[in-house]
Structure 1
């Protein structure tokens, strides 16, 4: 059997990290078994669905590396397809027309509540044999007795008595199918074999299984993953640092770090924490999904991102950092970008942070903001050391190795403590009293810029 999974977001907002994690699980399961991963946009909520959100969701999927198979499906374009299946249920006696008003149905529910029963539609129109008329809905004729049983990939066996369910609406009075009807039709026509989604959908699953059975269709395997909680074990919210995928991209996270982190929030392989995408595809078979909710830890995500950043090749790091540099009106062009970024890539936790740290190398020295400690280092004694080193580097071939020798030899022969040389030099060059080695700063700035900045400090 070919494994086919799907991800079906609603374009009523950006892709949230909870949805992103579900998409990753579905993608990995399909890729592990060499199957298909399908993408469907559930845009039947015409008032809240927006094209900008669809575009954002697709961009986030591509950024995460989650490619999909086949055509992108939009539910809003499939009304006729859904109604064909509703009509089939009417023809086979598995569904019926109902003309009860909203007020009547609510009154039925109130009566049930008063009796201590589950509030539901009482089946008034079930045997009336009504035909089509404008304003009538179509309801599923739920079996009078029995249980809906399924083996959840995450939660194990689940059984629901049909008496807990009512004759749900399949087609509304306006002719639009309901969510559960459309989902069953779409998943069947896409050939979906495994439905992995959030556990807020557990209550929908028995209803959908009844629709599958009424249509005589094979029921897919279901897996419901717990929601992600905040560090305080409460529902994840913005105050916990949980935002849309696109916001993490804008903050300078790497997609491989976010994928790795989200997968581990609900799945494990021994004690291993760091996985390449290739490893995840090889190992993720749908087992070892956690049945309990995991807590989101922003600090751990930043740590993991820092790990991936440190292991990013320098040329790639330059290109990844470029848009964050350009956002502040600066440019990497004509600069020794790799040398500058190499000084901070192991200290930064994200691309935004990295771009901020290399700014002093890209700005005009007049625009560099000097910290107070750096300004204090440019006193008379500091200027004396700058003047002496400047005289030496003017005639030096600018390689990192040569510059290291020049500064080392000067400190040795002058008998001055290195701190009294290094601090004013670093202050003059990048406006900071602390930071990378002096020779590496000079090499990253280049000869002309180094001399210019040292001369300005003396002036």
Structure 2
């Protein structure tokens, strides 16, 4: 069996979003366990590329757990490979497969407008294709501004089997002679991209469907140069909740924002693995198990819509599956050492993000807690007598854990009892088990909060 080589080739022009991350994940899953997964930095657009964004995307890949599978010695940057692209352009020029084009932007715009008016798809008409090669080169040497265009062979079809979308067929008459090098000297994206894939040994390219139109052009280039053509698979776009494609330029759904919010990387990759694809298990799977379950034939064709609720589902599953001991460092600064394990065990069922441990540490051990409106209402409904009975029990040396029994014996039962106590102690009606709160919270703090509620109007707390 052939061992696949895949790649992730981001442009460092913005923060990676979930669509980019899914492309990276699918490419990695397709390579694991025995193939190669390459990283290439496509930074040829000097106006938009930034080392800041390259550092950020590297941090994102490391956070997701992908960095360990990247061969650092094989990381290429397009900005460092201009001489390679020039060499292959010259090879095409020697074979008369590219030519300089001197058409101005206004001339090209007029040509496109005329074609649209006649109901034709806009494409280059070939005005400069028939120029005498020697005269054209002399004009370039004299400083004439020219792009270089690839001569598309007429009357042919480019066919390939997209591993996601199936057989594809494009008539070369629809392509027109396309630009492979700008007038300023930089290689066009899809020229450099195709060369780097072939020269680095990539055998499978998984990328967004917005690149599908580039594929016939890239196949023509590689065939003309006698270079190997990889398999291609074009993934459906990932849309925002509002139905708009995610974009690096506006930071939509960025991995950096999810990391800052406290999402676990295992939750994110399990969500992404099922975003527009079918995984044969609904369990939380580590990366290598996801690779075993991954089947590129089960990637859907329709756009996938970002669903935060589904992401939160996997976050809950990942939080629940993380060993208790891993959360101890999160609370070391706030929780007495003797209480830490019990505290984490008590809070974990209510912790959606790691930061929730610290928030609950502040509630259980801090000097003040903030009451939400439901808690104020519960304290008011319980009444001052409720809290005076509770405080008197503690003053008499009674155990905090006995408060529910004492209050029930005094005629304060049902929802009012548990809501009143929970609201007074934590400032909210939902959270860890009340018995755990009573066991963990310092006795003096329990007494003070009960006295506050018994002597002060709930709206003033």
**TM-score normalised according to structure 1 size:** 0.84
In the alignment, the residues of structure 2 paired with residue 381 and residue 457 of structure 1 have an alpha-carbon distance, to the nearest angstrom, of: 9
Equivalence for 2:169 = 159
Residue 87 (structure 1) aligned with residue 90 (structure 2)? yes
Equivalence for 1:235 = 244
In the alignment, the residues of structure 1 paired with residue 191 and residue 291 of structure 2 have an alpha-carbon distance, to the nearest angstrom, of: 32
- Tell me, what secondary structure is at the counterpart of 2:32? helix
| Aligned ranges 1:365-444 → 2 under 5 Å | 365=368, 368-369=370-371, 371-373=375-377, 375-376=379-380, 377=382, 379-392=384-397, 406=402, 417=413, 422=418, 425-432=421-428, 435-444=431-440
**How far 1:205 moved relative to its partner?**
0.4
In the alignment, the residues of structure 2 paired with residue 428 and residue 271 of structure 1 have an alpha-carbon distance, to the nearest angstrom, of: 43
Identify if the C-alpha distance between structure 1 residues 339 and 124 changes in structure 2 by more than 3 Å, giving closer, same or farther.
same
Equivalence for 2:19 = 18
Equivalence for 1:112 = 115
Mean CA deviation greater in 220-229 or 1-10: 1-10
Equivalence for 2:57 = 57
Whether the 8 Å CA contact 1:15–1:245 is kept in 2: the answer is: yes
Q: CA RMSD in A?
A: 3.1
Whether the 8 Å CA contact 1:303–1:349 is kept in 2: the answer is: no
Whether the 8 Å CA contact 1:22–1:198 is kept in 2: the answer is: yes
In structure 1, which of residues 275, 278, 283 is the aligned counterpart of residue 285 of structure 2? 275
**How far 1:66 moved relative to its partner?**
1.5
In the alignment, the residues of structure 1 paired with residue 417 and residue 216 of structure 2 have an alpha-carbon distance, to the nearest angstrom, of: 74
| Aligned ranges 1:329-348 → 2 under 5 Å | 331-332=333-334, 334=336, 336-348=339-351
Identify if the C-alpha distance between structure 1 residues 221 and 419 changes in structure 2 by more than 3 Å, giving closer, same or farther.
closer
In the alignment, the residues of structure 2 paired with residue 164 and residue 415 of structure 1 have an alpha-carbon distance, to the nearest angstrom, of: 84
- Tell me, what secondary structure is at the counterpart of 2:298? coil
**TM-score normalised according to structure 2 size:** 0.84
Whether the 8 Å CA contact 2:31–2:37 is kept in 1: the answer is: yes
Whether the 8 Å CA contact 2:384–2:454 is kept in 1: the answer is: no
**How far 1:110 moved relative to its partner?**
3.5
**How far 1:242 moved relative to its partner?**
5.5
**How far 1:252 moved relative to its partner?**
1.9
Mean CA deviation greater in 382-391 or 144-153: 382-391
Whether the 8 Å CA contact 2:32–2:288 is kept in 1: the answer is: no
Unmatched 5+ stretches in structure 2:
456-461
Identify if the C-alpha distance between structure 1 residues 118 and 193 changes in structure 2 by more than 3 Å, giving closer, same or farther.
same
Unmatched 5+ stretches in structure 1:
326-330, 397-402
Identify if the C-alpha distance between structure 1 residues 332 and 104 changes in structure 2 by more than 3 Å, giving closer, same or farther.
same
- Tell me, what secondary structure is at the counterpart of 2:349? coil
- Tell me, what secondary structure is at the counterpart of 1:122? coil
Identify if the C-alpha distance between structure 1 residues 378 and 77 changes in structure 2 by more than 3 Å, giving closer, same or farther.
farther
Q: Which string of whole-angstrom CA distances, capped at 9 and with x for unpartnered residues, describes residues 279-330 of structure 1? A: 21112242211122233322222122112212222222344x56xx9xxxxx
Identify if the C-alpha distance between structure 1 residues 217 and 172 changes in structure 2 by more than 3 Å, giving closer, same or farther.
same
Equivalence for 1:258 = 268
Identify if the C-alpha distance between structure 1 residues 208 and 390 changes in structure 2 by more than 3 Å, giving closer, same or farther.
farther
Identify if the C-alpha distance between structure 1 residues 227 and 416 changes in structure 2 by more than 3 Å, giving closer, same or farther.
closer
Whether the 8 Å CA contact 2:238–2:246 is kept in 1: the answer is: no
**How far 1:81 moved relative to its partner?**
1.8
**How far 1:183 moved relative to its partner?**
0.2
In the alignment, the residues of structure 1 paired with residue 341 and residue 451 of structure 2 have an alpha-carbon distance, to the nearest angstrom, of: 25
Equivalence for 2:153 = 143
In the alignment, the residues of structure 2 paired with residue 273 and residue 420 of structure 1 have an alpha-carbon distance, to the nearest angstrom, of: 39
In structure 2, which of residues 418, 433, 441 is the aligned counterpart of residue 445 of structure 1? 441
Mean CA deviation greater in 4-13 or 379-388: 379-388
Identify if the C-alpha distance between structure 1 residues 273 and 152 changes in structure 2 by more than 3 Å, giving closer, same or farther.
farther
In the alignment, the residues of structure 2 paired with residue 110 and residue 411 of structure 1 have an alpha-carbon distance, to the nearest angstrom, of: 83
In the alignment, the residues of structure 2 paired with residue 163 and residue 223 of structure 1 have an alpha-carbon distance, to the nearest angstrom, of: 23
Whether the 8 Å CA contact 1:5–1:30 is kept in 2: the answer is: yes
**How far 1:425 moved relative to its partner?**
4.6
Number of residue pairs the alignment of both structures matches: 437
